[in-house]
Amino acid sequence: MKIVKVENLSKVYGKGSTEVKALDNVSLSIEKGEFVAIVGASGSGKSTLLHLMGGVDRPTSGRVMINDTDIFQLNNDKLAIFRRRQIGIIYQFYNLLPTLNVEENITLPMELDGRKVEDGELDDILKLLGLTKRRKHLPNELSGGQQQRTSIGRALITRPALILADEPTGNLDSKSSNEIVELLRKSNREYNQTIVMITHNLEIAKCADRIITIEDGRIK
Ligand SMILES: Nc1ncnc2c1ncn2[C@@H]1O[C@H](COP(=O)(O)OP(=O)(O)OP(=O)(O)O)[C@@H](O)[C@H]1O
Ligand SMILES: [Mg+2]
């Protein structure tokens, strides 16, 4: 069963002389339970594609189906709810809320959805991510890697069917990188979560079931 279907997706930023075609008529599909890596040069359109698959931005043309929902047919409010329930996004630049501490950032998607975090679950995630001692710290009191791990916790806490990860190990040393990829692999296997992960690291890409290469906004 396909969980993601991307059809003829294009995204153009700017107008006239500053116009950039970041995605050029991209079509692809992802099976439920697949672990896919997206690779490509800087500026090739990887983050743009991931943001569109996650419904955090709207395309210039084309569509994205997630579990048979045509997500851009939803209005902004419905799309936000859909995203919160179905998708976990790990952003390249973390997008943590500066006034919330580590545990508040991680539990935010549950809070927004009026869901309760099970006893011990937050502790488990903090432990898994090596953030137990930093749980009360604000983002500006954390290293880049700790902020990255916080954003991973926030994407995992809802146990979403689909996890979209933009360079989830971009700011981590090789030991922590391997641990994060192992963690994603485990979520993939144990909870049958579908994972789409952007990476510049070919060793990490090799852990995936399939590698998609993007070049100048197109799939190679
Ligand atoms: N908000 C924006 N406004 C204008 N142009 C943008 C915007 N976001 C991205 N772009 C342009 O779209 C193209 C694709 O950007 P994107 O962020 O998707 O690349 P990427 O493959 O994720 O690169 P990187 O590996 O450096 O993160 C780039 O040429 C970029 O300059
Ligand atoms: Mg990017």
Looking at residue 56, its pLDDT comes to 96
Q: Which two tokens stand for residue 60?
A: 């210039």
Strands of the 61-66 sheet, one edge to the other: 20-31, 2-13, 61-66, 69-70
**Which fold does the domain 2-219 belong to in CATH?**
Rossmann fold (3.40.50)
The whole-number pLDDT of residue 198 equals 97
How far is residue 185's CA from residue 163's CA, in Å, rounded to a whole number?
A: 11
Q: What is the pTM of this model?
A: 0.94
Q: How far apart are the first and last CA of the chain?
A: 24
Write the CA distances from 147 to 129, 175, 185, 213, 217, integer angstroms.
Answer: 11, 17, 21, 27, 29
Residue pLDDT tens, the chain, 220 long: 999 999 999 999 999 999 999 999 999 999 999 999 999 999 999 999 999 999 999 999 999 999 999 999 999 999 999 999 999 999 999 999 999 999 999 999 999 999 999 889 999 999 989 999 999 999 999 999 999 999 999 999 999 999 999 999 988 889 889 888 988 998 899 889 999 999 999 999 999 999 999 999 999 9
DSSP letter for 194, please: E
What is the position in ligand 1's atom list of the atom closest to the CA of 46? 21
Q: Is 46 in the pocket of ligand 1 (CB under 6 A)?
A: yes
DSSP 42: T
Ligand 2: centre distance to CA 146 (Å):
19
DSSP bridge pairs for 13:
20
Cβ contacts of 105 within 8 Å, gap of 6 or more: 96, 97, 139, 150, 151, 153, 154
Which residue do the tokens 């916790």 mark? Answer: 153
Q: How far apart are CA 116 and CA 30, in angstroms?
A: 30
Pocket test for ligand 1, best of 10, 39, 48, 212 (most atoms within 8 A of CB): 48
Which helix (H) or strand (E) segment holds residue 204: the answer is: helix 202-205
